[in-house]
Amino acid sequence: MQVFFLLLFSTFNLSGSCEIDQIRTTFFSIEEESQVTNYIELCNESDCQESQYYKAVAIMWKASFTYWPHQKYAYFTEGRDMLEELIKTYPDDTELRFLRYIVQVNTPRFLGYSNNIENDLVFINTNLSEEDYSESHKELILETINFVNKK
C-alpha cells in the first residue's frame, strides 16, 4: 500500500513557494523508522503550513515501527492531538481533513479515533471542487478515498 501512496502522491503538483510536493512524495515513500525520524526533521525545517499536517500523521505513523505498546500509544496520541489541534485552527482545510480521513479509516477501531470519518468524507466531497488545487490533485484525492474505501 505504501507503494500505491508513493505513486499517487508523487504526482501532486500544487503551485506555491514551499516544497509541499517534496513533503508529500517523501511521506509516502517511508518504509523504515529512521526515515520517519528524518521526515519529521524535514517537516520541522519546512516553511509550508501543510508540512505540519504531514508531520502530525508521521508522528502517528512512527507507532507502527515501535514494539512497546506504551510507546506506540504515546506516538499515536501525540500525532492525533497535533492533528486535531491543526483541524481546530484550520477547520476548512480540505487537505487536512483528507489526511485525517485516511488516518481514521486505517486506525484500529479500539483506539477510538474514527468519529470523524463520515463528516470528513462529506466535507471533502462538498468542498474539493471549490479548492484551488490542480485537477490532477483533486482526482488523486478522490482516487485515494475510493481506494481506502474498497479495503
Give per-residue pLDDT as tens, 65-124.
999 999 999 999 999 999 999 999 999 999 999 999 999 999 999 999 999 999 999 999
148, burial (CB in 10 Å: exposed 0-12, middle 13-18, buried 19+): middle
**Looking at this protein, which amino acid is placed at residue 62?**
K
pLDDT value of position 30 = 85
Domain range list for the chain: 2-150
CA 54 to chain centre: 5
pLDDT in tens, 23-49: 877 877 888 889 999 999 999 999 999
Torsion angles phi and psi, residue 17, rounded to 5: -90, -10
Question: Rounded mean pLDDT of 48-65?
Answer: 94
* 11 vs 14: CA distance, rounded Å: 10
User: Looking up cell 484551488, which residue turns up?
Assistant: 132
pTM of the full structure = 0.82
* 108 vs 105: CA distance, rounded Å: 8
